Structure 1
């Protein structure tokens, strides 16, 4: 699964959960139908989701040990970026 596909999956899950939170447990099926039947609404919501993710920039702390652990730092950076977030240089 690509990063974009994973992010879209997360978005759709949160869309349904918020729909249910606001309108009640019986609205889960309606929420799923809304995702499929209302492309303009979903497109605007998807844009907002992506914009909110793009606005987040994580700043990693300096390594505790001079020279640090480059492999660990690289793995942390990749994990954060896999969530659709940016890491400050």
Structure 2
């Protein structure tokens, strides 16, 4: 009670009932929170990865090329021919 007047339950504070307010509800048994989530995840992941592939593939290709060149050059420099051309250690 507030000021000697009962104010009603929460949300019904003694005012006149409002008209024209429509409330919609959906049963929890009808909701599908993860409907299509796996399908969307697969295609969204593919779209995002394919969009970034150029930015990843080119530097990795260059790094692989430099790495293989370095290994071959190192092996060549350890050979007799490499020693003869560049001198001994």
TM-score (norm 1): 0.26
Tell which structure's C-alpha radius of gyration is larger: 2
Structure whose residues are more often helix by fraction: 1
Higher relative contact order (CA 8 A, sep 6+): 1
Structure whose residues are more often strand by fraction: 1
